[in-house]
Amino acid sequence: MRNVIWIFLFLSAQFFSSEAAFREGDYVITGFRSTSRDFPQTGIGLIKGASADTLEEIDSVPSVQPGQIILRRKLDGEYRLYKGMLDTAAFNNRSNLYYAFQIPGWARISDLIHYRIYRAPTDKPGSDEDLVFFDSERIYLRQFSRIYYFRNGNWFSLEGSASLQQGTIKVTSTPEGAQVIINGVPSGKITPCEIEGLIPGTYVLELFLPDHHFYRKLVPLFPKGTVSVSFELFSDMDTVFITGKAPHGVLILPQPPVDKRYRIDSVMVDDYKVRLLPGEHRLYWDGGALYKSIDTVITIEEGRISFFDYLFRRQYGVLRVVPDPGDAEVCIQNYNCRIGEQIIEVPTGRYSVSAFRHGFRNLKKDIIVLPDSIVNCEMSLMQIPDRDADGYIDNVDRCPDVYGLHDGCPRQKMREAIEGKRQDLIDYIRNDHFGIGFTVMGMILKIPTRKHFSNFLSTFSSGKIGGVNNYRGLTFGNMIEVMYRGLFASVELGQWTAGLHYQRPDTMELKTRNTTYLVYYDSIMEVEPVLFLPSTAISLGVHYNWSWLNLVYSIGYQWEDIIIDQIYDVGKQEFSRITFDNDWWFHQLYTELDFQAGEFFEPSVYFKFKFPFGPFKWTRWHVLQAGLQIKLFPHLHKGKKK
Amino acid sequence: MRKVQFLVCVFVLLTTLVLGGCGGGFRGDSEGASDLGETIFGPDSLM
C-alpha cells in the first residue's frame, strides 16, 4: 500500500511538473511577421502564385475563397503567411504525397491558422511543422495522414485524405445564355452548363445576362457531390407583368450580408421574393452592430415587379490598443503589426488583438468593436523568466537559478547565429527587385587632397562660384544607378559646362623648368582663363534596402581631365590649353532616404561621399554630393496594371 | 514596363548627356602638362 502511495505521488509530481513546463500558449502562434516581401516559389507544390514565380505575403487571414490557399511558413522561429491559388495537380504526384484534413467544426480558418501542427503529441512546442497549407475548409500537409494540435489542455488529431473528392455544379437559367461567374471570376461557360472538378466548399454563383438583373446565390458543394442550381432572370429594360388576375405586386429584395430576415409592415419574411398588396409598405431590416439598419417605405404597384436595390453599409468604431510595455509590437487582425499604442477606426465586429515583445509572454485577446464608440484594449504582457535568453524558460532548464546566469546554461551557438543571419541575407537578396534611379538635381563639393593644387584652385574659385562646373555647384541628371539582387551599379557624369573662371585683377606667374606661364584676365582682349574638370565615373557594389533607407557601398574608378584654357606661354608667346589626365579610384558610401516606400515611382534624397584610394596621377579628391532623385521599380508597375 | 525598355531609356539618356557635353575625362596629358604639373600640383605630384 505504501508503494502504491509513493507511485501515485511520483506520477502526480511528473504530471504537474510537465504541466508547469509548457503552457497552452506555447502551442499557438500569436502573431505573424510581415515585411511585404514576396516569396519565390521553389517547387513547394500545392500552391501557385497569382504572378508567375512569387507568392504574395500577407499579415492576416480575413477570409479565404474556394480555390485560394494560404501557406504558413516557419523560418527561424517566425511565422509568415503567403497567399496563392490551390494547385490540384500536386495531388497526382505520388512520390510527394499531400493529405487534406477537414477543418474541425469549432474552428474558423482565422482561428485555426494560429495553431501549431504536429506529427505526434510532444512536449517540445517548437517541433511543429514548417510548411502548412490552409483553405476555407481544409488543412493540407505533406507525407503525414494524421496530424495533431493542442487545445484546452488536450491533444486532438485529424485524419487526412490523399484525394480532394471533387464535385460538380449544374447551372440552368430562364432565359438561357447567361454567363456564369464563380467567386467573382468568369468561368467561361454559358447556361445551361456543368462545372466539374470543383473542390468541396461554398461557392458564390452569379449569372450575367445583358439587360437582365444580376443574380447571386451561395451554393454549398459537398465531397463528390453534384448540385443543381436554377436561376430565374428578370429583364430590367421592360416592365415585367404578372399574369393572372391576382391583385398584387412582387418585391425582390437583395440578399443581406448577414443572416437576418426582413420585416415588411409587421411580418417577418423568409424569402427574398415577396408578394404584396399594392400600396405603401414599411420595410425594416436590423443590421445589428455590423451594418446600418434599413427602415424605409416602399411602394408596390399592382401586377408589377419592384426591385429594392440597396448597398449595405458597414458600421464603424474606434479601437485603441495600449500595450505594456509601451514598445511591444501590436497586431490587430486584418491590419499591419506596429510598435506601441494604436488608435484606428475599424468596421465593427470581433477582432483578434495580439501583442508580443522579446522576453515577454505573448498575449492575445478577442475584442468586440461596437458602432460609434471607442473600445479600449489594454495588453499587459507578463515577463518570461528566461533571463539567460536561451529559448528555454528558467523553470525548465533550471538556468540560471541552479547553474548561474552564464555558467552551465546553454547559449545559442555562434554557428547557429551566423547561419540565421546568412538565411536572412539570402532571403533579402532573393526578394530584392530590379530598380533604377536617376538623379534630378543636386549639389557637388570637391576638395583636392593636394594642398598645392588646392591653393592654385582657390585663385580660380575666389570669384563667382556656381553653375555646372563639377567642383562646387549644381548637377542635373548626372547619375544613373541600377539595383538588383543586392547588387548596385552606377554611372556618373562630371558635368563641367560652366568651368571655373579666373577673373582676378592681378596677373599670376607660373614658373616651370622650361618656361613661364602667365594667367591674367582681360575682358577687352577677351582673355578669360577657365579651368574645366570633365569626368566620368563608374562604380560597382552592394546595397541594403531597409524600409525607407537604402545604404550603398561601392568601389569605383573616375576618368578625369583637368583642363586649363587660355594661359599665356611666355616662351612660345601664345595662349595655351593644357590638359592633365587625372584618373583615380574611390570608395563610395551612399545613402538614400525614400519618401514613400513600396511604390513604382519613388522620389528620394541622396547623400554621397567618395573617399579616394590607390594610385593617381596628379591629385585625388574627397567628394560630397546631395540632391533629389527618382527611383523606378518595374515589378510594382506590373502590379498596378492588374 | 519591361526591363529592356528601361535599359533602352538609360542608354538614350546617357547618350544625350554625353553628346550634350557632360562627362568626359578620357583625354591624355597634353604637351607641357608634365612641366606645368609640377608647378601647379607640387614637386612630388608625379607617381
- The highest-confidence range among A111-125, A392-406, A495-509, A524-538, by mean pLDDT, is A524-538
Position with higher pLDDT, A323 vs A265: A323
> Is residue A181 within 8 Å of residue A207, measured between CB atoms?
yes
Q: Which residues of B touch A564 (CB under 8 A)?
A: 36, 40
Q: What is the mean pLDDT of residues A268-283?
A: 86
pLDDT tens, residue by residue, A280-290: 889 999 888 88
pLDDT grade for A379, boundaries at 50, 70 and 90: very high
Q: Which residues of B touch A618 (CB under 8 A)?
A: 37, 41, 45
Distance CA A324, CA A375 (A): 17
- B16 in reach of chain A (CB within 8 A): no
Tell me if A450 and B45 make a contact (CB, 8 A cut-off). yes
Which member of A436, A536, A578 has the closest CB to residue B25? A536
pLDDT score for A218: 81
pLDDT tens, residue by residue, A91-110: 776 666 788 888 887 787 88
pLDDT score for A441: 92
Q: In what order do the strands lie in the sheet with A342-347?
A: A342-347, A316-324, A374-380
Q: Which of A101, A111, A95 is nearest to A29 (CA)?
A: A111
* Element containing residue B35 per DSSP (H, E): helix B33-41
Tell me if A434 and B3 make a contact (CB, 8 A cut-off). yes
- The highest-confidence range among A156-165, A179-188, A292-301, A419-428, by mean pLDDT, is A292-301
pLDDT score for A17: 42
pLDDT score for A465: 65
Distance CA B17, CA A497 (A): 12
Position with higher pLDDT, A213 vs A117: A117
Alpha-helical (H) ranges within A451-603 are 451-461
Tell me if B41 and A450 make a contact (CB, 8 A cut-off). yes
pLDDT grade for A3, boundaries at 50, 70 and 90: low
Distance CA A160, CA A145 (A): 5
pLDDT score for A630: 92
pLDDT grade for A322, boundaries at 50, 70 and 90: very high
Cis status, amide bond into A175, omega within 30 of 0: yes
Quote the cell numbers at residue A373.
464608440
Q: Among A536, A616, A629, pick the best mutation site for testing chain B contact (most B Cβ within 10 A).
A: A536
pLDDT grade for A320, boundaries at 50, 70 and 90: very high
Pairing of strands A167-174, A226-232: parallel
The nearest alpha carbon in chain A to B32 belongs to A578
Q: Which of A170, A366, A583, A580 is nearest to B31 (CA)?
A: A580
**Residues contacting residue A406 through CB under 8 Å, at least 6 positions apart:** A388, A400
pLDDT score for A64: 76
pLDDT score for A339: 83
Which member of B21, B30, B39 has the closest CB to residue A510? B39
Which member of B22, B27, B32 has the closest CB to residue A576? B32
Answer yes or no: is pLDDT of A43 > 80.
no
Task: Give the count of Cβ contacts less than 8 A between chain A and B.
Answer: 116
* ipTM computed for the complex: 0.81
Q: Among A575, A579, A631, pick the best mutation site for testing chain B contact (most B Cβ within 10 A).
A: A579
Q: Which residues of A touch B47 (CB under 8 A)?
A: 615-617
- B19 in reach of chain A (CB within 8 A): no
Q: How far is CA A518 from the centre of its chain?
A: 65
Q: Which of A326, A322, A312 is nearest to A260 (CA)?
A: A312
Angle between helices A451-461 and B33-41 (to 10 degrees): 90
In SS3 terms, A520-547 reads as CCECCCCECCEEECCEEEEEEEEEEEEC
Distance CA A206, CA A213 (A): 11
Q: Among A470, A617, A633, pick the best mutation site for testing chain B contact (most B Cβ within 10 A).
A: A617
Q: Which residues of B touch A580 (CB under 8 A)?
A: 29-30, 33, 37, 41
pLDDT grade for B45, boundaries at 50, 70 and 90: very low
Position with higher pLDDT, A319 vs A224: A319
Answer yes or no: is pLDDT of B42 > 70.
yes
Tell me if A580 and B29 make a contact (CB, 8 A cut-off). yes
Q: Which residues of A touch B44 (CB under 8 A)?
A: none
Q: Which residues of A touch B30 (CB under 8 A)?
A: 577-580
Position with higher pLDDT, A210 vs A113: A113
Q: Among B4, B14, B44, B45, pick the best mutation site for testing chain A contact (most A Cβ within 10 A).
A: B45
Distance CA A631, CA A549 (A): 13
CA distance B15 to chain A (A): 11
CA distance A586 to chain B (A): 16
CA distance B38 to chain A (A): 8
Q: What is the mean pLDDT of residues A527-545?
A: 93
Q: What is the mean pLDDT of residues A197-223?
A: 78
pLDDT score for B3: 64
> Is residue A96 within 8 Å of residue A144, measured between CB atoms?
no
Average pLDDT for chain A: 82
Q: Which of A261, A171, A272, A252 is nearest to A212 (CA)?
A: A252
Distance CA A560, CA A316 (A): 64
The nearest alpha carbon in chain A to B26 belongs to A559
CA distance A91 to chain B (A): 35
Q: Among B30, B34, B47, pick the best mutation site for testing chain A contact (most A Cβ within 10 A).
A: B30
Q: Among A559, A578, A584, A640, pick the best mutation site for testing chain B contact (most B Cβ within 10 A).
A: A578
A418: how many CB neighbours lie within 10 A of its CB? 10
> Is residue A246 within 8 Å of residue A299, measured between CB atoms?
no
Percent of chain A past pLDDT 90, that is, above it, reads 23
Q: How far is CA A261 from the centre of its chain?
A: 39
pLDDT score for A402: 63
**A60-74, A428-442, A579-593: range with lowest mean pLDDT:** A60-74
Tell me if A561 and B27 make a contact (CB, 8 A cut-off). yes
Tell me if B23 and A536 make a contact (CB, 8 A cut-off). yes
- B11 in reach of chain A (CB within 8 A): no
Position with higher pLDDT, A18 vs A302: A302
CA distance A550 to chain B (A): 21
pLDDT score for A46: 77
Position with higher pLDDT, A267 vs A529: A529
- B2 in reach of chain A (CB within 8 A): yes
Tell me if A452 and B29 make a contact (CB, 8 A cut-off). no
A474 - beta bridge partners? A443
CA distance B30 to chain A (A): 5
CA distance A204 to chain B (A): 35
Q: Which residues of B touch A569 (CB under 8 A)?
A: 32
pLDDT score for A6: 53
Distance CA A565, CA A529 (A): 5
